[in-house]
Amino acid sequence: MTLHNLPETSKDLQVIQSNWLIESSYYLTTLEGRLVQLMISLISKNDDDFKTYSVRINDLPPLLNIDKKTIYREIRKISKTLLSRVISVKNENGKETFFHWVDIIEIDPNTGLLTFHFHPNLKPFLLYLQGQFTTFPLSVVIAFKGSYTRRIYELMKDQLYRSDTREITVEELRYKLAIKDSSYRQFKDLNRAVLKKSQDEINKHSDIHITYEPVKSGRFITALIFKIKRQPYQETLPFLEPLPEDKIDRNIEATEALMMHGISQKDAKVFVEGQGAEAIARTLEIFEERKQKKKIKGDGAAYLATLLRKEAGIESETFKKKKIEAAKAAQTEVEQLEKQKQETEATEKAKTKVLRKRREELQALLAAKPKKEQAQILADFEASLMQIERENYKKRGLKSVMVQSRYYAFLEKEFL
C-alpha cells in the first residue's frame, strides 16, 4: 500500500491518461469525476503496475469541494456508485470493450484512510504511456461543476495536441459523453444544458478556450465544429465560493445523477427542487443497495421513480390512474349489479304476470266444465296429494303455497 500526502490545493498534481480512454464512452458525476482524476494523478510515470493507493480522507474536502462534516458519507456514496460505473472503448474495427474503473475501494474510519486499486484492464490506458496521451492539471477538472464539462474539456485538450479544430457528429458526442437516449433529444436542450454550460466553464476555469458552430444537414443539426486555442491559466479555488453556489452545484449534480439512472430531465428537476440534493442522495443510496442485492427486477428507472415519489409522498401518475380506474371499475360493478337487480325484478314481474294469466286461464277451463266433472277433478287432485299436503289443503285450501303449486301443475296436466 502506498500512502500519498495530498497538497492543500491541486495545482501541483497532473492527470495523465491515454487518448483512447479520453475518446471512450463513460459518465461520472462531478464528484465521481473529481475523485477518479485525483486517483489518476497519484500514478507515477515510473509505475510499471497499479499499486494499492491510499489517501487521508480528511485531506479530500478542499480537493473535491466537499464539506468536511459530510466527507465520510459523501466518499462512501461516491465509492459505491463508482464501483458500478463502466467505460466503453471502441477500437478501429468497431469492437467495443467494457471496463470498470476500480476493483476495490476501502474506507477505514479507524485509520481515516481511503484505499483503492484501479482495475487491471485499465493498465494500457494509464500506464506505459508513450506518445498517445494527454496531460492536464488536476486543478482544472476540480474547478468544473458540470459533469459533462470535464469530458468535453478532455476531448478538446486531446484534439489540441493535433490541431485547433475538431468536427464531431452530434451522435458521436452523445456517445462519448454517455448521454442517455431519453435525455436532451432536441438540440436546443443539448445546447443549453450541456454545450453552452461546458463552454462557459472551460473558458472561465481552464487553460484552453473553445467556441463551436453547429453544422446542418437539411433542417437538422447533425454535427459541431469546435475551435480550440490555448489561453493563460490561473488556478481557481471553487471551494472558497459562497455556500449558495455550492448548493446549486449539488442540485445540478443530483439532477444529473437521476438522469443517468433513466429519470427524465423534467422529473429529475422536480424531484431535486422538491426534496433537495441530500434527500436525493439518500434515496439513490437505498436504490444502489437494493440493486446490488438484486432486489430490483425489471425497469430500474421505474423502481427509482417509485422510491423518489414515496420519499416525497407523491403518488405516481400510474398509481393515480390505477386508483381512478379501480374507482371507476367499482362504480361500474355497482351499476352492473343494480342493473342486474332491476332486470331480475323485471323478469320476475314478467314471469309472475304470465303465471297469473295462465292460472286464470286454467281456472276458467275448470269453471267451464260441468259441476259434476269439476267435483271429480278436484277429488282426483286431493287424492294425488301426500297426507301432509292433503291436511294443508283441507285446512287452508289454495292459500297454502305448496298446495297451490301442486294444484295448478295438476290442472296443466288435466287440460293438456
Distance of alpha carbon 2 from alpha carbon 408, whole angstroms: 108
Nearest alpha carbon to residue 378 among 406, 401, 338, 350: 406
Q: Are 64 and 31 in contact (CB under 8 A)?
A: yes
pLDDT in tens, 264-299: 777 888 888 888 887 888 788 788 778 777 777 766
Burial class (CB in 10 A: 0-12, 13-18, 19+), 342: exposed
Phi and psi angles of residue 4, each rounded to the nearest 5 degrees, phi first: -110, 130
CB–CB of 206/151 below 8 Å? no
Contacts of 90 (CB under 8 A, 6+ apart): 24, 25, 96, 97
Distance CA 42, CA 350 (A): 94
What are 185-233's pLDDT values in tens digits?
889 999 998 999 999 999 998 989 999 999 998 889 999 999 999 988 7
Q: Report d(CA 297, CA 293) in Å as an integer.
A: 11
Would you state the cell numbers that stand for residue 9, as one nine-digit string? 490545493
How many beta carbons lie within 10 A of that of residue 110, not counting itself? 5
At residue 299, the pLDDT reads 61
Q: Largest alpha-carbon pair distance within the chain?
A: 134
Residue-level pLDDT at 5 = 58
Place of cell 422536480: 270
Q: What's the residue count for the chain?
A: 416
- Structural domains for the chain: 2-240 (1.10.10.10), 369-416 (no CATH)
The pLDDT tens digits for 338-347 are: 888 888 888 8
Amino acid at 30: T
**How far is 160 from 166, CA to CA, in rounded Å?**
9
- Say if residues 277 and 254 touch (Cβ distance below 8 Å): yes
Burial class of 402 by CB neighbour count within 10 A (0 to 12, 13 to 18, 19+): middle
Instruction: Report the alpha-carbon distance of residue 291 to residue 296 in Å, rounded.
Output: 6
Q: Which residues of the chain have pLDDT under 50?
A: 237-248, 315-316
- The gap from C-alpha 125 to its chain's centroid, in whole angstroms, comes to 32
Element (H, E) at 243: helix 243-260
CA distance 2 to 160: 34
Q: Are 231 and 209 in contact (CB under 8 A)?
A: yes
Dihedral angle over CA of 57, 58, 59, 64, nearest 10: 70
Are 255 and 268 in contact by the 8 Å Cβ rule? The answer is: yes
pLDDT attached to residue 149: 94
Q: Rounded to whole angstroms, how far apart are CA atoms 128 and 50?
A: 11
Q: What pairing do the DSSP bridges indicate for beta strands 220-230 and 133-137? A: unpaired
From residue 371, give the alpha-carbon distance in Å to each of 63, 196, 360, 375, 398: 121, 112, 18, 6, 19
Q: Could you tell me which residues come within 8 angstroms of residue 292 by beta carbon, excluding any fewer than 6 positions away?
A: none
Contact by Cβ (8 Å): 90, 24: yes
Question: Residue 54's beta-bridge partner residues?
Answer: 3, 115
Per the listing, cell 443539426 goes with: 221
* Residue with grid cell 442540485, as numbered in its chain: 251
pLDDT at position 244 is 42
- Please name which of 150, 176, 181, 182 lies closest in space to residue 253, comparing C-alpha atoms: 150
Amino acid identity of residue 14, one-letter, is Q
**Nearest partner of 173 among 210, 203, 209, 138, judged by Cα:** 210
pLDDT at 2: 57
